[in-house]
Amino acid sequence: MTAQFDFFKPLSITLIISFLCSCSLLGRIYEERTKLEIRLFRSGGLQIKDEKQINQKQRGMIYTRFTDFFPNSTEVRLYYKTVDGRRAKPSELENGIPEGWILHVIYYKGLSMIEVYQKSGAIDEYEKAFLMDFQRGQSFWTNDSEEDQEEKTNCFAYDFIRDDKKAKVKINGKSSLLFFSTDFDRALAEAKKKELEELAPDSIKGF
């Protein structure tokens, strides 16, 4: 999949570097991996490292449809956190993942680009409000951007967009929230579009 990576690199120069300089003003999206993990681990979270468990928890996740378009500096990590806030023991994950939270994070160059908060039960309104509040950064959420909804250069649908246009959120049923960088989403869409354009001549050859 070399073609889409070559395309992503020049695109990232104009899109990604621009928000690296302003990430201190943004919410948890764009946060450094080290900071995110320090906070999470201090609160009892654990990284899931077993490949079988990772594959199981990634099943059905919408971001897995676009992993072929992730640039070389992308890393995917999954974390587990208990519902009651107690410190989880590594041994608890040996025989499967117990009830609690699963956090999927896609990092690009060490910064969070996509975060999926997945709960074994329903996310209540208080939890949803808290998650959206700390993801809003210095901005606020709005759902009235019809013009942006019609934009074709994206991979992920959304329910709310931050007023600064830097992040979006999709509420997936009762137990999952997807937060993602607008620029990263656009770059993935452009990479996918370029590959489809390059493959089109071969797919219709012989007609």
Average pLDDT over residues 113-131: 94
Position 21 pLDDT exceeds 60: no
Q: Which of 54-58, 94-98, 180-184 has the lowest mean pLDDT?
A: 94-98
Write down the pTM of the prediction: 0.81
Average pLDDT over residues 42-54: 92
pLDDT at 168: 95
Average pLDDT over residues 124-136: 92
Which DSSP symbol is given to 32?
A: B
Position 149 pLDDT exceeds 60: no
Q: Is 71 exposed, middle or buried (0-12, 13-18, 19+ CB in 10 A)?
A: buried
The rounded distance, in Å, linking the Cα atoms of 38 and 43 is 9
Q: Where are the alpha helices (DSSP H) in 43-110?
A: 51-58
Contacts of 113 (CB under 8 A, 6+ apart): 29, 30, 74, 106, 107, 180, 181, 184
What confidence tens digit (pLDDT) does each residue in 181-200 have?
999 999 999 988 887 777 76
pLDDT at 144: 60
Q: Where are the alpha helices (DSSP H) in the chain?
A: 2-20, 33-42, 51-58, 125-135, 146-149, 182-203
125-128 — which CB contacts under 8 Å span 24+ positions?
A: 128/171, 128/177
